[in-house]
Structure 1
Amino acid sequence: MAGQVADKVALVTGGASGIGQAIAELLAEQGATVVVTDVDELKGPDVVTGIRKAGGGEAIFLHHDVTSEERWAEVVAEIKRRFGRLDVLVSNAGIGIGAPSIVEMSLADWRRQTAINLDGVFLSVKYSLPLMRKGGRGGSIVLMSSLAGLRGSATLAGYSATKGGVRLFAKSVAMECASAGDGIRVNSVHPGIIDTPIWGKIPAGGSASGQNAPIDAQELARMATPLGRAGEAREIAQGVLFLASDASSYMTGAELVIDGGMFAGTAVRRT
């Protein structure tokens, strides 16, 4: 079918819900063959079923713990066996663990968050890049960072550390690919407050505060975002589609910030 990413094979990690699901659905809608991976074996297949019913590109689901090097080798081998190539990698899987103070964050939480948000991204590139290069058609790697990867947050120091690492990892791999002349572009995406299920998993005061009420993303965005609302997962997916497509052919090592204006500054709304 025609579309902005027609005839491309794309891998989307963390694709069973939230931003990952929106990305997988939009890439398929625009003609890509999409490999959706996630640890959620209940929702993941449902995403693929929805894509097929919508009449988009082909889609499959693979169970995938992004912290497992062995599983990464298996996932990429399966993509090679089924499709023979990989054109787009969207390394989206991630978690957020808040703490009222860095001194109250456990080493176990620090390591778990780092394993998924940073080690998982490293492994995604390590194992996907050779297959992308073998295809000889260039390609696009999109690494999901965050607004928290561009500026600090008093209760998300560990999360910011991982997302800041993703930002510079993307730039370094972009330079490596440019030096190799392989035609593969690498960019990072930095969402602000997006209304997805991840907010229900982050206690308002952090896990050590005793405040277990989940964060209300819409209320938080109303107070903190110049545009006065939380973003939608599909709005991030639109940015990823742009980076995955040939429309962004002159972009590499860049940061795509989609945050309702939060990084730009403070605005006083008159309505």
Structure 2
Amino acid sequence: MLKKWILPLTALFVSLGASAAEPLRVSAIPDEVPTELQRKFAPLGDYLAEQTGRDVVFVPVNDYAAVVEALAAGKIDMAWLGGFTYVQAHRRADGVIPLVQRAEDAQFTSKFIANADSGIKTLADLKGKDFAFGSPSSTSGHLMPRHFLAEEGINPEQDFAHVAFSGAHDATVAWVASGKVPAGALNASVWDKLLEEGKVDTKKVKVIWTTPTYFDYNWTVRGGLDPALQAKLKQAFLNLDPKVPAQAEILKLQRASRFIETKPENYQGIEAAAVQAGLLK
């Protein structure tokens, strides 16, 4: 079932010309394993195809930077981005537009976790220890945890023994659970999902701190995408109804109670944090 949504990257470059017959090309930052991203997208892809009258294909990518470059170059039409990757895309190319976010993304958080045998119980206990972020371009797995550490007077490069990047939120949990690193930070929503699915042993991994809230994920479209299609896509997301069983399943897979409109101004705080952290110039 999932295979029909995968468009190999080699096929992505076959045609750069747009036509009415071309499918809507959708991608996402790889903040979880590829099979999970595709599982989450399949029913949403069916729904968007029905609502827009366009075929929809999912375009997997290897890293966060590839999503930004593909969106900026017009090689994908829409992408699921974190707040930081949206800021990068906005700076990289004119015209990218954030359409919608989950209601939950208006008050998102990150979790700091530690191996239960590490003796780490507070942020202060992290000093002198190895620590794992997710991807360097992750909002909830790197930028905002780093930002809030700075507010607590902690500089990872100076205060931690070693800083590592796992590449994805679920990988960070696996690293901490196995003892590869004693502590790390990740997306609170992924943490909750792993708990619900029984994929975290809470005897091995503990939450030691939850960050203050911030804006995070959104669905963003490329510059130049047909405004009528943009409007259809936005309305399709806004119309998702948890009272309709099939749509409730889509919302559940997206870990959304509902989708709401968003705007570039929501991500100014993310941009300021990235500049302050030296991740943007």
Shorter-chain TM-score: which interval?
0.3 to 0.5
Q: What TM-score do you get using the length of structure 2 for normalisation?
A: 0.33
TM-score, with normalisation over the residues of structure 1? 0.34
The structure whose RCO (Cα within 8 Å, separation 6+) is larger is: 2
Of the two, which has the highest radius of gyration? 2
